[in-house]
A and B are shown apart, each in its own frame.
Chain A
Amino acid sequence: MFVNQFLFLAAVLFCIGVYGVIARKNAVLMLMSIELILNSVNINLLTFAMRNGSTDGHTFALYIIAVAAAEVGVGLGLVLLVYRNKKTISVDELSEMRG
């Protein structure tokens, strides 16, 4: 199997995700970038699982998917809260506390 391609793909995804988190100011977009990272993780896990022939990777991936869903739920909830109070979802507006 072409393990390395998958790993490479995962790494690329990871980087894109990180870039997104850092570069984006929009809370939703940041959430999505994080999802990218998580998926890159999943790819990694599955790749290794296939290579090693163990199921742990699959299990792990499943858990991650589930938890990611929960996270997104909470995240969107929070974003909504903010939007309700501030009428914006740009996280840079959220710098009331600093120093």
Chain B
Amino acid sequence: MQTLNIFAAQWVAPTIDYFGLAPELVLAGGLCLVLMLDLFIDERKKWMLTAITSFTLLAAMVPVLMLALSETEVRTMFDGRYVVDNFSLVMKAVFLLAGYVVVLLSSSHIEEGEYWRGEYWFLLLTSLLGMLMMASSRDLVSIFVALEFLSIPAYMLAAWRKRDPKSNEAGVKYFLLGVFASAVMLYGMSLMYGVANSTLLTEIGAKITATGEFSAVHALAVVFVVVGFAFKVSAVPFHTWAPDTYEGAPTPVTAFLSVASKAAGFVALVVLLYTAFPLAQDIWQPFIWVLSALTMTIGNVLALKQHNIVRMIAYSSISQGGFVLMPLAVAGLAGSGTTALRSVVLYMIVYAATNLGVFAIILAVANKTRSGEISSYGGLFSYAPTLGVLMTLFLASLAGIPPLGGWIAKFVAFQSLIQSQSTWGYALAFVGAVNSVVAFGYYGNVMREIWMRPVPDSDTTLISVPGSLKLALVITAGATLVFGILPGVGLQFADLAEIAGAIIR
């Protein structure tokens, strides 16, 4: 009690940099607005919600850009627990744009069936808000809060189709495992706090480095914390929830989960590795190495066996996660830290564009075929050439074939591996190379359906693509091509992304 009083006496209200918080604030305002309006406007006017949501997202982009252009490089508040640096800005931009595309994907989709649109938008915005916070959090507590902030709405989104048992199942699985994982992570965090006597990442980093060697507790703490985020990025063997949830959840939600929330997981992971346990590399590097190799391989081989397109994409995104992890497995080594970070960010950007494009196509095609079977794509090219070509582009990009976005992302990943010039790096590069070939097995399979197979029950009625989807396709396809042909564009963002206070360089 005494101590508490003393602390209370010392307490001074922190100064808040509202400019730095502007994006979050805009978003928060927007979601409240949606929540309120939803109660008052009637069914026919629900489209307004869609408009507001997308407007909010675009509006939130404005402060992000302004912050990026403002001369103050790094803004820290709450004595370093919440930081706005280039890294976080880039990631916030990614989240917002991804969110915007997801809105575009959703807008026509959620019309179907009488579900509560208002809640949908509200949850979406909330989860995005959590992600923005995650990008800036530099403290165990704020990271934890941000994590839950983005997860809990996601659980509900996954189960958003109340009356669809699949959707329920998706939600419950995601929820139970998610909570379990975060519980484990929390345990790790508590231990971390115990050994470092602080929840501030930079201090943890300093403490851990102070004593050259580690006790069992360190290892336990690091591993459990990493596990928590390995779950978010659905790294094997913590991926089990992903396929089921992706398949069961509404497709736009799947898109959201597979892109945005995965990205959020990586953001947290990177921040932790770079600022909290940079010099505990001996602990986490092998761990990440194994995770990455397993993730790529298992994701691929399981994807080869899928018949449902969404489920296949789920596994594909798992294995893509493995590729993102690749450079982190050597990030601790001298000189490769910066490249690794660049690689992760770039991969996130490119992957977001491409994968959202895939989902846009899936939604468009599902409008007609009403089926998730890969075979339902037979002969797509013959009656919907544009969709066919675009899908081919996206899949090829995922497979990492020049000159499409995917290749530069993979290239930079390989580059940072080999730059480390360590045996582990080369070995992982080899695994990655083999996997990138195996991956084409299932991507090519879909292409084959699209181009070379007959149309199932020869139903070649034209596909009507709603305008929002068209816009989404334009954005994603454009991004995919530009990143591929002029990789410099993407790399600029990835390159200026630097984590303030990161010890690894």
Contacts and interface: CB of A to CB of B under 8 A. Distances in A.
Chain B binds chain A: yes
Contact of A74 (B155, B170, B189): B155
A6 to B, nearest CB: 11
A94 B169 contact: yes
A3 to B, nearest CB: 9
A96 B141 CA distance: 36
B165 A96 contact: yes
User: By DSSP majority rule, is chain B's interface helix, strand, loop, or mixed?
Assistant: helix
Contacts of A52: 197
Interface in B152-199: 152, 155-156, 159, 162-163, 165-166, 168-173, 175-176, 179-180, 183-184, 186-187, 189-191, 193-194, 197-199
Contact of A34 (B140, B183, B191, B306): B183
Contact of A48 (B4, B155, B156, B193): B193
Given A41-B186, A94-B172, A96-B169, A81 B159 contact: yes
A78 B183 contact: no
A54 B171 contact: no
B18 interface: no
A24 to B, nearest CB: 10
A60 B243 contact: no
User: By DSSP majority rule, is chain A's interface helix, strand, loop, or mixed?
Assistant: helix
Nearest to A86: B165
Contacts of B183: 17, 34, 37-38, 41
B172 A78 contact: yes
A61 to B, nearest CB: 9
B182 to A, nearest CB: 8
Given A44-B191, A82-B172, A75 B141 contact: no
A74 B156 CA distance: 8
A91 B247 contact: no
Nearest to B148: A67
B461 to A, nearest CB: 30
B194 A91 contact: no
Nearest to A57: B193
A31 to B, nearest CB: 8
A5 interface: no
Interface string A23-40: 000010011001001101
A45 B193 contact: yes
Contacts of A91: 172-173, 176
B438 interface: no
B248 interface: yes
Nearest to B217: A7
A1 interface: no
A14 B170 CA distance: 26
B373 to A, nearest CB: 14
B155 A78 contact: yes
Contacts of A18: 184
B176 A27 contact: yes
Contact of A55 (B7, B170, B180): B7
Given A41-B190, A54-B198, A71 B179 contact: yes
B45 interface: no
A63 B144 contact: yes
Contacts of B165: 85-86, 96
B190 A48 contact: yes
A82 B171 CA distance: 10
Interface string B293-310: 000000000000110000
A60 B194 contact: no
Contacts of B173: 91, 94
Nearest to A71: B179
Contact of B176 (A30, A47, A48, A54): A30
Most buried by B among A34, A51, A97: A97
A67 B150 CA distance: 12
B141 A79 contact: no
Given A74-B156, A78-B175, A96 B166 contact: yes
Contacts of B159: 78, 81
Given A21-B180, A40-B187, A97-B247, A60 B141 contact: yes
Interface in B183-238: 183-184, 186-187, 189-191, 193-194, 197-199
Given A14-B187, A45-B190, A91-B176, 7 more contacts: A10-B190, A41-B186, A44-B187, A67-B144, A74-B152, A78-B175, A85-B168
27 contacts: A10-B190, A31-B179, A34-B179, A34-B180, A34-B183, A37-B187, A44-B187, A44-B191, A52-B197, A53-B3, A55-B3, A55-B4, A55-B7, A57-B193, A59-B199, A63-B145, A70-B152, A71-B152, A78-B155, A78-B159, A78-B171, A86-B168, A91-B172, A91-B176, A96-B166, A99-B305, A99-B306
